[in-house]
Structures are given as structure tokens and as C-alpha cells.
Amino acid sequence: MNKHAITAQEREQILHRLHTTTENFAKIGEAFNRSPWTIKRIAQVVGVSAQGRDSYSSCTSCGAGISWHNKSGRCQPCGMKHLNSDPKERAKRSERLKRAYQDPEKLRRARLRIKENFRVAMENPEKRERFCSRARERFMRNVWSPEARAKWYAAQPHTLEKAFRTRFAWCPPEYLEQYRFLRQTKHLSYPQAKQIILDEIRVAKERAVNRLSPFERQEIALQKGAGLTEGYSRVTLGGVRRA
């Protein structure tokens, strides 16, 4: 834009244009390499109406008239929609909020504010109805429609298996067979069977840590020719011949 002061001659030409045409300020401004604000100011001084001259173009999304003040090329609602649909902008916003809400006091206040806003809105029957009908609609569409339900089931083929895995997170798979045996053949309760298995796991772990159990150590000692302790001479160990 031309930064120089307007000459008398230029001013005359602009005035002439304003009086003889209905062109908007931006259009005239373009012709004289001046901003629409400059033209508007001149028009105001001489009392030329701004009626119809403020609008410049139409919203690129919906076609509504927008002013030459507008920089985005969209009307306000379309501009918001556009911003909301921009993943970059949303990420930026989310980042900003996350940072702000790291402050517990801010988070507390925001929660209260949202809750209060919602409460007030729900007191308005019109808003309440709109909210409820939208919620119903969303529910029917995203949760209850045959497609949504089919999708949900398809996504959870292992619901039972998952529940089982959660309940038996304590039980390594190699012990499941034993668990079944304890429950179904021995008719033990879940806690009893669990306790037995857990004990076995603990013993097995200790064995793994010590590498050898006392029994194994005894066995090896016997193989090396160690005798049995006095008083335990009649103890027999599987596979160990009596002396």
C-alpha cells in the first residue's frame, strides 16, 4: 500500500469515484493503491454512505457476504468450522490446553466453569432438548445401529478370553492345566486352588534360584556315597537303594 499522504488531486479522483459509482471501498482502494480504510475515512468525511460498500466478497465456503476486514475469506461460522477441522490447529490448541491444565488450580476452575455452564444450559428447555436429541441421535448412530453393534462385536472377538486373562493374570499358562485339575477333579474353591498354584510357583522359583532343591542336593550327596543321618536310617528316597 501507498504510505505517502494523499495528494489533493488523488483525493479529488477518489471522491469522484465515490460519488459516481457504488463500488466498495476495497475496490476503489485497489485502484488507487490505498487501503479500504483510507477510502472509508474519506467517504465518512464527505458523508458518502458506507451502505453496501463495506461488503467486499463472499465466504468461500457458504457464499455469505463478508467484509473487506475479513482476512480468512470465510464468514465467522465457516472460519470456525475450518479451524476446527484443521488437525494442526487442533493439535496446537490441545497442546496449549494441556500445558495450561498442568496447573491444578486452572484445571479445577475450568472443570467448575464447564460444569456450571452445562448446568445453566440444561435449565434452558430448548437447549436441553437440543442436547438430548443430539445425544440420542449420536447414541443411535454410533452405539445402537446394527452397523455400530456389528462393528463393536467384530472388534471384541476375545471378550471372554480377555476377561479370563484378567482373572488369571496370576496364573502362568503352564499351570492352567493343574488349576483345572484342582477345580474340576479335586473340587477345590478358586482361592484354594489359587493358593496351591501360587505356592507351587513360589517353590519352583526358589528352586530355579537355588538351582537345586534340598532333595536334589540330598540325592547327589547320596550318589557320592554320603550316608544317612542317624535316626533316619529307614527313610527311603525313590530310586535310592538301601545300604
Q: Rule CB under 5 A: which residues touch Zn ion?
A: 59, 61-62, 64, 75, 78
Q: Which C-beta is closer to Zn ion: that of 14 or that of 78?
A: 78
Q: Which C-beta is closer to Zn ion: that of 52 or that of 77?
A: 77
* CA dist list (Å): 54 to 23, 37, 43, 183: 10, 10, 11, 84
Q: Which C-beta is closer to Zn ion: that of 89 or that of 129?
A: 89
72: left (phi over 0), alpha (psi -120 to 50) or beta: alpha
Question: Taking the CB of residue 10, how many other CB atoms lie within 10 A of it?
Answer: 16
* Cα-trace Rg, the chain: 42
Q: How far is the CB of 36 from Zn ion (least distance, A)?
A: 20
Q: What is the dihedral of CA 232, 238, 241, 243, to 10 degrees?
A: 0
Q: How far is the CB of 74 from Zn ion (least distance, A)?
A: 5
Q: Which C-beta is closer to Zn ion: that of 59 or that of 193?
A: 59
Tell me how far the alpha carbon of residue 105 is from its chain's centroid: 22
How far is 227 from 230, CA to CA, in rounded Å? 9
The DSSP letter of residue 72 is S
Question: Taking the CB of residue 220, how many other CB atoms lie within 10 A of it?
Answer: 11
Q: How far is the CB of 68 from Zn ion (least distance, A)?
A: 16
Q: How far is the CB of 56 from Zn ion (least distance, A)?
A: 14
Q: How far is the CB of 28 from Zn ion (least distance, A)?
A: 25
Q: Which C-beta is closer to Zn ion: that of 63 or that of 172?
A: 63
User: Which 3 state secondary structure label does DSSP give 233?
Assistant: coil
Q: How far is the CB of 76 from Zn ion (least distance, A)?
A: 8
Q: Which C-beta is closer to Zn ion: that of 81 or that of 207?
A: 81
